[in-house]
Amino acid sequence: MSDTTTVPARRTQAERTASTRARLLDAAIDVLVDLGYARTSTQEIARRAGVSRGAQLHHFPTREALVVAAVEHLVDRRLAEFLTVDRDAAGLELLLEAFSGPLFHAALELWVAARTDPSLHAAVLPLERKVTEALELGGREIYGDRMSPAAFELSIELARGMAVSAILRSPGEEKDMRARLLPVWEKAVTEA
């Protein structure tokens, strides 16, 4: 009788490294969203990622490096999603969606904490530039000539502000506000 069981291929070091990094980055976002920046610890991130503290330190020597890399990782994923939409059907709702969910909440935690934490502030600046560039690229790809660069920049700021204020609104209030403001906003930025 022959043994027909197959042994799974052993993962390469690069694959194991990428897997560990991805688990750490995903766990960091979860912890930021669940606990906020002030209560985010590298120990909790390592625990949720299922990796040792040593492995976490090997990949990310500081909390700032880890949480900034995690938000950057999520920005890259969201930009890829953003660029797959139907450009002809894309409206300002799509831009509002860019400022929602775990990415926005994690980024918001970093922005607020960076206001009073000089090392985090320095770490977040390049990330913020990358986010702005990604949004501008996405905007050009999706909106094309339907919106001027200044109108798109204004739209980013409006979407960000609406997302912050949505934190304190009920879903019904948020839906009503969008229904009232989106047509006015759309008209203002497409006629500019």
- Which tens digits make up the pLDDT trace of 96-139? 887 888 888 888 888 899 999 998 899 889 888 888 887 888 77
| pLDDT above 90: residue 25 | yes
Number of domains in the chain: 1
pLDDT, position 48: 96
User: Is 94 among the domain residues?
Assistant: yes
pLDDT, position 133: 83
pLDDT, position 176: 94
User: Is 40 among the domain residues?
Assistant: no
User: Is 108 among the domain residues?
Assistant: yes
Give the residue, 9 or 118, on which the prediction is more confident: 118
Please name the residues in contact with 182: beta carbons below 8 A apart, sequence gap of 6 or more.
91, 92, 93
Global confidence as pTM: 0.75
Residue 113: which domain range?
63-190
Specify the DSSP class assigned to residue 146. Answer: G
CATH number of the domain where residue 69 is located: 1.10.357
Quote the CA–CA distance of 103 and 30 in Å, as a whole number.
10
Quote the CA–CA distance of 56 and 103 in Å, as a whole number.
21
**Alpha-carbon radius of gyration of the chain:** 20
User: Is 5 among the domain residues?
Assistant: no
User: Is 12 among the domain residues?
Assistant: no
Report the candidate in 191, 189, 28 with the shortest Cα–Cα distance to residue 95: 189
pLDDT, position 2: 56
Report the candidate in 92, 116, 106, 98 with the shortest Cα–Cα distance to residue 177: 92
User: Is 23 among the domain residues?
Assistant: no
User: pLDDT tens digits, residue range 160-181?
Assistant: 999 999 889 999 999 999 999 9
Q: What is the DSSP string of 78-107?
A: HHHHHTTS-TTT--HHHHHHHTSHHHHHHH
| pLDDT above 90: residue 54 | yes
Give the residue, 84 or 100, on which the prediction is more confident: 100
Tell me, what amino acid is at 108?
Answer: L
pLDDT, position 104: 84
pLDDT, position 1: 55
User: Is 42 among the domain residues?
Assistant: no
User: Is 180 among the domain residues?
Assistant: yes
